[in-house]
Amino acid sequence: MALKAIIYRASISFSDLDQNHYADHALTIARHPSETEERMMVRLLAFVLNAPPTNDQGALEFGKDMWEADEPALCQTDLTGLTEHWIELGQPDEKRLVRVCGRSKKVTVYSFSSGAATWWSGIASKLARVENLTVWQIPADQSQALGALADRSMTLQFTLQEGSLWVEQDGRSVEIKLVQLFGGTR
């Protein structure tokens, strides 16, 4: 018998103090049985950092990457069906990144393991000419602390200021300092 996804609910308040952008999100997240809480929380973080202020160019949605190999972790598709933004988690290989960069306006990768720098140094030269790719590293200790905030029902406050992202829940907080390995701005 196959294991079923575990359902999490998150009420999120996001404040980007640098750009005066504020948003609230009520999300239902299906965590695949093989997905860790750390990865699920990184997926949630990627959603918060990339959700468009309006859905005029399409909404950002969670993908089926844990179920389907050719799917993203998150994807924003415009109203005509074209992919505006493809978001990957972990350490995808360069062939996959070149392929998705060719069919998406923007591609972002959030890598969060202790081996992220080694992974990136092995493929960076192969992606040097890709213009629509941005790669971020979340230090492993910070992503693990973020994973520790996971709860089946969460109320989270995300605050972004001067390059630091603070995530708070029930008096516990984690500071995330994203390290840009490649590409443009968030």
Count CB neighbours of 176 within 10 A: 21
Of 29 and 70, more confident = 29
pLDDT for 37 beyond 90: yes
Section 166-181 average pLDDT: 96
Q: CA–CA separation, 20 vs 18, rounded Å? A: 6
If we measure between CA atoms, which residue out of 12, 84, 74 comes closest to residue 47?
Answer: 74
* CATH for 6-182 (3.40.50.10540, 3.10.640.10, 3.20.20.80, 3.40.1130.10): 3.10.640.10
At 75 the pLDDT is 97
Whole-angstrom distance, CA of residue 21 vs CA of residue 151: 26
Q: Is the pLDDT of residue 186 over 60?
A: no
- Dump pLDDT digits (tens) for 44-102: 999 999 999 888 888 999 998 888 888 999 999 998 989 999 999 999 999 999 999 99
The pTM (predicted TM-score) of the whole model is 0.94
- Choose among 168, 32, 89: nearest CA to 8: 32
Strand ranges across the sheet with 104-111? 60-62, 74-77, 83-89, 104-111, 133-137, 179-182
CA angle centred on 12, ends 143 and 84, rounded to 5°: 80
Q: Determine the 3-state secondary structure of 37 from DSSP.
A: helix
